[in-house]
Amino acid sequence: MSTNHYDVLGVSRDATPDQIKKAYRRLARELHPDVAQGEGAEDRFKDVSRAYEVLSNPEKREMYDRGVDPTAPGGGAGGFGGAGFGFQDIFETFFGAGPSAGQRGPVPRARRGQDALVRLDIDLADATFGAHRDVQVDTAVLCPTCQGSCCRPGTTPRSCDVCGGRGVVQRVAQSFLGRVMTSSPCAACQGFGTVIPDPCPECSGDGRVRSRRTISVDIPAGVDTGTRIKLTGQGEVGPGGGPAGDVYLEIRERPHETFVRRGDDLHCTLPVPMTAAALGTVLELQTLDGPREVDIRPGTQPGQVILEKGLGVGRLHTGGRGDLHVHIDVQVPTQLDEEQTELLRRLAALRGEERPASRLAAAGSGVFAKLRDKLAGR
């Protein structure tokens, strides 16, 4: 076989490191003594390994390209202990990982607890101004008897006799490479490295117990249905007395009998008698901030909106408050006595409206257009 390292691997002199590595892996699988049969297979495998040792190392490859073979006697470090080659290369060739892959030490018995999701129903006033609430949660808390040690008071865990406290057991498996050492979690101690001979009688060796407790929560102004408030470290305690998880408080806002919320603004409907809308008046409106006087100007039309600034919901992130939109509902009387009917007829005669002309309003005007624009956010 040729002693030219490039010819041995079957690559050109300008081959990339990746091409060299792929060529070596292919030949190593074919020529390994446990796989290949026939005279000279072992010598060919050594030649392939020697060629890869040189060409996979940039410094040695540069020396070789200048006419110096680092694997020749006196030419530099050679064999499987050289800088560019080792047992890990062979292991990666056949298994895709180093000899330490999959090995683990003992796992800690204390682990983080799970998070909890709690839903809280609030009123519109709570969302507008913020509130303080006490929330009850059913969760896992630290065992009061063993304080998370999982052992009966006065006792301690002992090292596992099977794995010797390592948490893993090693076995020897036969493969075409020979004997291969494998590691797996110890079944006797579940990988903890220790066993509890005398578990705590209250928590049965878990380090925690179930309990109902109360959490005080400050609800900021501006929350809405679906808002989640994170309470760090208020979740359940982990097994073995591990750190607690978090509680996520999900807000659900109850519908209000008077106000409708749209973002940070509130909307309501104010009934106004026909005569008050025509003549103008001042009406009292009960808002979330208490009673407020609303000025009804003469000639107020049905569907007209009066804006009361700063009487909406608090803004969660920017501060301040939204506005209150008062929608006017002009009420036309339906039951009139004779005197009222006569007065309205005289008013119609004075305004020339006894037989009003039939005329359609222009498109885009009128109460329906205004309502449509409001719903569309225009």
Per the annotation, where are the binding residues for Zn(2+)? 143, 146, 160, 163, 186, 189, 200, 203
Helix residue ranges per DSSP H, the chain: 5-9, 17-31, 41-55, 58-65, 87-95, 124-129, 274-279, 338-350, 367-375
Closest Cα to residue 266, out of 81, 53, 124, 57? 124
How far apart are alpha carbons 10 and 22 in whole angstroms? 11
Closest Cα to residue 278, out of 259, 246, 301? 301
Neighbours of 177 (CB within 10 A): 15
Q: Which residues are annotated as a binding site?
A: 143, 146, 160, 163, 186, 189, 200, 203
Question: Is-contact 368 374, C-beta < 8 A?
Answer: no
CA 125, distance to chain mean position in Å, is 30
The length of the chain in residues reads 378
Neighbours of 70 (CB within 10 A): 22
What secondary structure, in 3-state letters, does 274-328 show?
Answer: HHHHHHCEEEEEEECCEEEEEEECCCCCCCCEEEECCCCCECCCCCCECCEEEEE
SS3 state of residue 19: helix
Could you give the C-alpha distances from 261 to 42, 191, 283, 316, 325, in angstroms and in order?
A: 83, 55, 22, 14, 10
